[in-house]
Amino acid sequence: MRTSPWQRAEFTLTAERDHPAPYAGVAVWAEFTHDSGATLRRPAFWDGGRTWRIRFASPLAGGRWRWRTAADVDDPGLVGRTGELTVADEPAGGNPFRVHGFWRMSPGGRSLVHADGTPALLVGDTAWGLPWRATEEQVRVYAADRAGKGFNAALLMSVQPDMDARGPRDRTADEGFDVAFEDLPDGHLDDLVPAYFQHLDRLLAVLDEHGVVPVLQPVFHGFGWKGLRAAGPVVPPAEYARYCRYLVARYGADPVVYLVGADGGGHEPGIEAGGREIEEWDAYGQPCGIHYRPHSRADAHQAAPWLDFQWCQTGHRGEHVPERVADMWRNEPVRAVANGEPTYEHSGRRGKGEGWWQGHEAWSNLCAGGTMGVVYGAGSLWQWVLRPGEPGHEPFFVAEGAGWREALDFEGSRYVGLVSRILAGLPTTDMAPSWDLTLAPRGLLVPGRLYVSYGEHGGDLRVAPWAGEAIPLPYRVVDPRTGEITGSGVRENHQAPVPDPGGAPRVYLCHAGWAESERHAPRS
């Protein structure tokens, strides 16, 4: 078999006999050895009947990988199977993850980079209910819209988590949803439904085509979908960990982020077990972290080796509270942080978190220290409400007169998506909050290379006399509502301000890599 770097290859194994508990009772894996001596281990996943599959992506260009399987059962169809994989010398192209590799944490642990070191910023949308509610056709509409606006990630509950949720097993019917585990209503994850994950494969493939990374949450710990007893806190840790391993096996050979805990306090029983399992079986070092409920310290397992990031949730009442992110930045050991769930746009009432509120929120949180990225959410979209007025949803979270499709067009998503476009190509790796070098409320600094500042009302960006050469001379001023460059040039000296007439939101970018020709570039 031939493949390209960072391109998923799949191998199928067929057991020679039936096993009474193929998901819960059988573990299969493969060891991959490269000509260079590099080795990787990938777990296999059960896919129904006697079928197991192994998915693998080469992090190396060129050469050949040889693989051999092992298992904890004596079955010749699963144990000792071998094969070879030849890798092209160059990436096949496509989205950035196939060219630059999967995301991992930066050297300083504060931001994302691709495997080859290219800087990255997560710009995520909150589509929690997509995996068990959406059709493939719907996801094509969704992915095209979000990628077109600049989003590169989608936060997803991998399963419908509410133990007391009831409805037809039909993605097109009111209150309907698909089922991933038949025994989840009893608080267990033993009876897996392969057809559910085969459908999820197709949905995530659509996201991948558009460069949108799934942020996979195993089983929610807080509100869940409808607030009907989320199973996350009661699933036994061993079952939670086993399911985390399954997600690594099934989806870990493509770009992914693991959100091992969500909407809880971070110390629920399965979180540590799941985080350890992901670290043990993830061969690519893809990011793994925790997403918290609003009323929490957001620092659980801060020193755990499996933990890469912490995400706060600032509530759903429409307040801007970037100090939550700033406070998390100070926690040690260092972990990347972000506000993973601001107020959903139009959640519960028209006007809440509306329009530019979302853009101001994103830039404020980013500059407060949320340098892993920014996240957006819309009422009715996160639950994947099928149509306006679909019954059975908590009114506080539904956008009046909107289903998922209508919510896709809410104005605020445009402004959050633009964050990725405005910062594209800049050396954002491990940028850090800087509060003392300019007369501005919010700023981020990579000394001598990059300074980013957000001003709610614009105006001249005044530079402190003691800034020295930390802030580069070439600059651009951008309207964060449109992405338009409103001014550019090169400051005459290190104390000179970045000029702007004021009266509107502005993002100030000072980057050492911009050419001297910026000195007299006209304003657009």
39-48 confidence digits (pLDDT tens): 999 999 999 9
Q: How confident is the model at residue 521 (pLDDT cuts 50, 70, 90)?
A: very low
What pLDDT band is residue 401 in, cutting at 50, 70 and 90? very high
Q: What is the pLDDT of residue 520?
A: 45
Q: How confident is the model at residue 523 (pLDDT cuts 50, 70, 90)?
A: very low
pLDDT at 440: 78
Tens-place pLDDT, residues 348-377 = 999 999 999 999 999 999 999 999 999 999
In angstroms, the CA 263 to CA 232 distance is: 10
pLDDT at 212: 98
pLDDT at 518: 53
Residue burial 39-68, b: 16+ Cβ < 10 Å; e: rest: ebebbbbbbeebbbebbbbbbeeeeebebe
Q: What is the mean pLDDT of the chain?
A: 96
Tell me the whole-structure pTM to 2 decimals.
Answer: 0.97
Structure tokens at 128: 């929690």
pLDDT band at 34 (very low <50, low <70, confident <90, very high): very high
d(CA 474, CA 518): 7
pLDDT at 249: 99
Between 519 and 282, the higher pLDDT residue:
282
- Confidence tier at 524 by pLDDT (50, 70, 90): very low
pLDDT at 93: 82
Find the DSSP H helices in 254-349. Answer: 269-281, 323-329
What pLDDT is attached to residue 516?
Answer: 53
Structure tokens at 158: 């991998």
Spatial distance between the Cα atoms of 409 and 60, rounded to a whole number of angstroms: 40
Closest CA to 95 of 208, 236, 222, 260: 208
pLDDT above 90: percentage of residues in the chain: 96
Query: What's the token pair of residue 89?
Result: 């010398």
The model's pLDDT over 187-202, given as tens digits with 9 standing for 90+, comes to 999 999 999 999 999 9
